[in-house]
A and B are shown apart, each in its own frame.
Chain A
Amino acid sequence: MVECLTGKKILIKGNYAIANAAVLAGCQCYFGYPITPQSEIGEFMSGKMQELGRSYVSAESELAAINMTIGACATGAKAMSSSSSCAIALMQEALSYAASDELPVVLVSVMRGGPGLGNIYSSQGDYFQTTKGGGNGDYKLIALAPSTVQECVDLTYKAFYLAHKYKNPTVLLADGLLGQMMAPVEFKPYPYPEIDNSEWALTGAKGRNSRIIRSYAPLADEQCVFLEKLFNKYKQIEENETEWEEIGTEDADIVLVSFGSTFRNIKTAAKICRQKGLKVGVFRPITLYPFPHKRLNELADRVKKIISVEVNMGQMINDIKLSVDGKVPVELIHKPVGAPPAPEDIAAQVEELA
């Protein structure tokens, strides 16, 4: 176990880093159920939350865990759950409710192999699950995808901030590789302002009218008005919070796009390609929702080809195609499951596709 230290660089496993960051972000309640490859988050929380007089519940299922998180968030508290692939699948109904209830649920999703039980190897197969919504109805989850253990920390902070700022469920989408790897990390103090929730939190109706947090809209008109309002919020999120990283795209003929841990390998692959005379740049969406559609569309005006590199059968490539709107060809380099393809392999495939 590690201490909740700030200002010191320590060597720490990704899952512990996420948990420690959540504690430093002020998370008051953690609810979870074990699943590999993220069980260390719950293990860390079970000790630390008790020690700090906060709340940890070993839930009877992931259904219960995410609904407990909703309950805690409804009081305005910072609360979270964490899980992985097939168990995140169990939470989809509740995520739809949380989006509709406009509650600041924070969920850490550490991807493993699928579909079905799959396996416990790292994977990026839950891009669709996270960004396209497995629950019912029109809704969006803010989705942040770290590519390093340090960024697991920074984006855990940001997940709490954005969730509360926009009253919207927010997912930190990591993968088994990030969860299990150790890396030097610095825990800075939580850098974001605290968000006032006194206008909506359930605290008992003392001295005011009672509040109902509900998604039930029995009348069609009511639902129309609500969805328009919800999607105005999403528009704001898209305008204000879209985040990405790009390197070497100024003169690039080919741009490799990856999210999460795979980005490390395309950076090296691009260097290899450059040594071979190919002008290759790299691009990484940090927010998967909102997706940097606009920026990719701009890049498509001057590059010749975009290649999505993913550890799945090709999921984010669909969003890239939407972004570039047919301006340039979009190809896929992928591995179905496991660690990202080696930089040399990626570079060799880029040469073939160039």
Chain B
Amino acid sequence: MSVQVFKIPNSLKKDAKYTFCPGCDHGVAVRLVAEVLEEMGLTENAILAASIGCSVTLYDFLNVDALEAPHGRALAEATGIKRARPDKFVFTYQGDGDFASIGLAESMHAALRGEKLSAICINNTTYGMTGGQLGPTTIMGQITTTSPTGRNKEYYGYPIKIAEHIALCDGTAYSARVSLDSVANIKKAKQAIKKAFEVQVKGLGFGFVEILSTCPTNWRMTPEQAHERVKNEMMPVFKPGVYKDITVNNQ
């Protein structure tokens, strides 16, 4: 007797050619989103508001209807979709620059309004698609193409702790930060995505997951070194954890 232990979710396009760099965690994150969509039976009812950056190509991989938003406006467009079709499952998948720099107003206000939406934000501490510039999550001391001597507070100010900020919004039902640096953490990440999707399905409010990710190309690292950096440099600054979950207690 054979038992199936592995299958490609139907929510992933079978003919998709992945365009992410080797060692980039986008591939893992997309896979997790696809698995959760399928396991929760949401694929056929889902509409994605895509973002700008490396995350834009998500619609090339997922078997869901998608609208490509201008840079930073994914949660505004998602709001429009959800308000027009409250019966649909509406989600975004954005980079940290899209979500927390150019789109910070749209992101915060979607959370403040308690829009029944789910948002995934990939935090890789840089603008990946444009070649590794300083972004809103670039950590102190980090060298990028626009912080050649490293981020310092005098010149660049400080990075944003996204999951903590979103947790502060009253309309947020769930906010968590996860990492993809180990198998154990990938499993936790999947649970967090599931939770962020569930709070929308249950109509409880805004669901959010920040995913710490690698960008080996722009970090000038091997995939292995990049995952070490997530563990050693990013996780101490951006601490993984659940920052808000209204289904657990009345925070």
- Determine if B76 and A204 form an interchain contact, defined as CB atoms under 8 angstroms apart: no
Q: Which of A31, A203, A213 contacts B80 (CB under 8 A)?
A: A31
Taking CB atoms and an 8 Å cut-off, the chain B residues in 38-60 that contact chain A are 43-47, 49-50, 56, 59
Interface range for B:
35 or more
Choose one: A57, A61, A211, A214; the contact of B79 (CB below 8 Å).
Answer: A57
Would A71 and B59 be within 8 Å (CB), given that A60-B105, A64-B106, A213-B67 are in contact?
Answer: no
Q: In whole Å, how far is A121's beta carbon from the nearest beta carbon of chain B? A: 30
A203 CA to B88 CA in the complex, in Å?
A: 7
Chain B residues with CB under 8 A of A214:
50, 59, 66-68
**How many angstroms from the CA of A198 to the CA of B105 in the assembled complex?**
33
Q: Is the CB of A72 within 8 A of B81?
A: yes
Could you say which of A31, A67, A93, A212 has the most chain B C-beta atoms within 10 Å of its C-beta? A67
Given known contacts A64-B106, A216-B56, is B47 in contact with A204 (CB within 8 Å)?
yes
Given contacts A60-B109, A67-B77, A71-B79, contact A204 B66 (CB under 8 A): no
Residues of B within 8 A of A206 (CB): 44-45
> Which chain A positions have C-beta within 8 A of B46?
204-205
* Interface members, chain A 132-191 (any B CB < 8 Å): none
Interface bits A9-53 vs B (CB < 8 Å: 1, else 0): 000000000000000000011010000000000000000000000
With an 8 A cutoff between CB atoms, is B165 at the interface? Answer: no
CB pair A202 B70 closer than 8 Å:
no
- Between A57, A73, A204, the greatest number of chain B beta carbons within 10 A of the residue's beta carbon is seen for A204
**A61:B105 contact, CB within 8 angstroms:** yes
Expressed in whole angstroms, the minimum distance between the Cβ of B244 and any Cβ of chain A is 21
Are the CB atoms of B62 and A64 closer together than 8 Å?
no
Specify which chain A residues have a CB less than 8 angstroms from the CB of B67 in the assembled complex: 70-71, 74, 101, 202, 212-214
Given contacts A57-B83, A216-B56, whether A68 and B77 have CB atoms under 8 Å apart is yes
Bound-state Cα–Cα, A206 to B93, Å: 21
> Is A75 positioned at the interface, with any CB of B under 8 Å from its CB?
yes
Task: Find chain B residues with CB under 8 A from A207 CB.
Answer: 44
- A74 and chain B: residue at smallest CB distance: B67
Give the residue name and chain of the B residue nearest to A66 (CB): B76
Bound: A25/B84 CA distance, A: 16
Please indicate the chain A residues that have their CB under 8 angstroms from the CB of B47 in the complex.
74-75, 202-204
CA distance A212 to B68 in the complex (A): 8
Cβ 8 A contact of B65, one of A67, A69, A101, A211: A211
Given contacts A204-B45, A214-B59, contact A73 B80 (CB under 8 A): yes
| CA distance in complex: A211, B47 (Å) | 9
Most buried by B among A64, A71, A72: A71
- CB nearest to B13 among chain A residues: A210
Q: How far, in whole Å, are A206 and B80 apart by their CA atoms in the complex? A: 21
7 contacts between A and B (CB under 8 A): A28-B84, A57-B113, A59-B109, A60-B105, A67-B69, A204-B44, A210-B13
Chain B: residues with CB nearer than 8 A to chain A? Answer: 13, 43-47, 49-50, 56, 59, 62-70, 73, 76-85, 88-89, 105-106, 109, 113
